[in-house]
Every structure is written in C-alpha cells, then in structure tokens.
Chain A
C-alpha cells in the first residue's frame, strides 16, 4: 500500500466531524433562507455574539460547561466499548445530591463545597455503577439499562422532592453560601455578568484527568483494550467485566459532577428538569470530539456557542433551529464516517 494513500485515508476519516458540522450548517442555511432571512448574516451574528464580547464568551463557556462533563462521560464509556445513555439521569441525580448536601449537611465552611461536590460525584457514580455491575455480572445490555435508569432517577427525585421542595415550586431550598462555586467574573472582569463559574475549571481538570487515565495509565490501557475487543483483552489478561463496571462507574461520576454548574455555581438550588437534555447532547459532543478529551472540549464549546447564539438570533430565526442542527450533526457524523472510511478503503 502506498504510504501517501494511507495518509490520505487517515486524513479523510479524521475529517468526518468537520464534514458533519458543515453539512448540518448547510441544511440550517436552507431553512434560514426558506423563512426569508440571510443565512450568512445570521451565522455571522451568531458567531459574533457568542465569541465577540466578554459577556458572550462567558455565556458560551457557561453553556459549554455541562456539555463538557456529559461529553466526557459519554466518551469515557465509548472508550471502553460501552454506550452510556444514562448520563442525563446521572447528572440529574448528581445535581440533586449536590443541592441537598449544600443545604442540609451544615458542614464547616472549608468543607461545605468539597462535600457538595463529593455528593454529586457519588450520586452519579452509584447510578453509573448499577448498569456497570449488571453488565459485568449478568451481561445485561447497558444501553437499555441506562435508559431505564434515567426514568427511575426522574421518578426517584419527584418522590424524594415531595417533602423537600419549597411550597408551590419544583426547587429545593437555596444552598449554604459556603457550598457555592464562585463565578469566574470575580477572577476575570471581562466576563462580567455572565453565569460561567468554577465548575468549568473542574471540568477542565476532569478532562485532563481522563486524558492521563486513558493514555498514560495501566487501567486506561485496559479500558481501551476492552473497548477495542473484549475477547482479545481477556486473552491478554484483562478481566473485561470489572473494567466495564469501572468504566460506567467513572462515567457516572463525571456525569454527576456535570450537575454542579447549575446547582452550585448558577442558581444555587436544584430544580426539576434542570438538565434540559444536556446528557443527550453529550452524545453529540463525544461523537464530534471523537472520544478524545481535547476533542470533547472543542465540541462542547461549539455546542455552547450554538446554544447561546441561538438565543441571540431568536428574534429573526427561531432558536429551536439549534436543536435541529444538533440532531443533524449527530446524523451526519455517523453517516459521514462510514462513508469516508469506504472512500478511504477504495483509495488505499
């Protein structure tokens, strides 16, 4: 096989995320033109608002934060060959636990925030461990189990919330000030007024940690080996079951922490439905980021910008278009990759 051709093939498959985004934006442009607006002007306005001002950048970062966590959680599962669709429920429970710990634990000031973060990680981790153990022990399909557990989580919180929610609302009491994650505009005045908070820094830390875990440790190597081929990994001395259980548990921990931006850093209370589908968009984030922590970060920023920019252009183009674009990115990404791979195979 010609070396240059092999390179070209690798390049082609690596292009798939960009092809997917371009195709989705093109489809969006057709819609925008159909309702009588100018696509380039709308996209330009969207980008300039999302990245052009300090406040806009803060909003983009704020919206990217939960997506960074959920994208990382999905990617971690994918690396071990597991599809965690339960990120939404894990994040939901993580946020609920953080809210409760921040309100009722009454931990002394320096411990209040770590305790609330730990509660979020634990709640998400337990919810990830359940399908992980069921997969390892009984071979039960994690896709179905994680979907089921999403709904169990929603029901559980509705039930537990009966006695906890403030009267006539669906939110818990406000957390203690010591458990709050600080806003970043205290550090960087340019971001003034935007709700981006220290949860983003935690997310970056988690991303770096996952990068080290996956590519620099023995455990990470084993997870990837199981993801690549469970039987081959077993043959090589890796026990696939425990590795899968660990992967889903860690994925749940990361997802649980994803609830902290809203609960500890923004509203300072838990509210029913606060996740708003971030867990599912995390699948798009992981897909576009090709399951690499850095790629996930870039993809989270892209969807964060789209989400904020969509609000800004809402006067002229319905912001619901952004949801359609997100879905199209997923559909184009999964079809572009096999297509480009096939083209690459022909070339090579």
Chain B
C-alpha cells in the first residue's frame, strides 16, 4: 500500500474513532451503568453455577472478590465524575 493510501485510511478511521471516544458526562454515566450491570450479572451467573455444583468454593471466593473490587472501582469513578 502506498503512503498516500495509508494516510487516507488513517484519515477515514480517526474521526470515527474520535467520535466514539468522546466521553460526555452522559456517556460516562452510561458506561458506569453498563459496567455495574456486568459485575451484577457476573455475580448472578456465578451463583447459578454454584447452585448447580459447577464451581469449586476456592474459585467462587475469587470471583466474589473480583466483583467486589470491580464495584469499588466503579464507585470511585462515579464519585470523581459526579458534578
């Protein structure tokens, strides 16, 4: 590919990426909501699978810790992004 075509591709991609990356407070809130849903759903799925006897306790503890830490970080981010 020639240099000119490479530059053209770069020019075509950059605005699309920049648009997607622009982080307004609403978008940040939405992102935080999605991540909270993700951690809640992880905890829920882990509970279901534990009830089915699919997961050992030593692993369940690790997921619970990961969920807790993930939510903690979300809280910190939410506090920072609050007006």
Please say whether chains A and B are actual partners in one complex. no
Chain A interface residues (CB < 8 Å from chain B): none
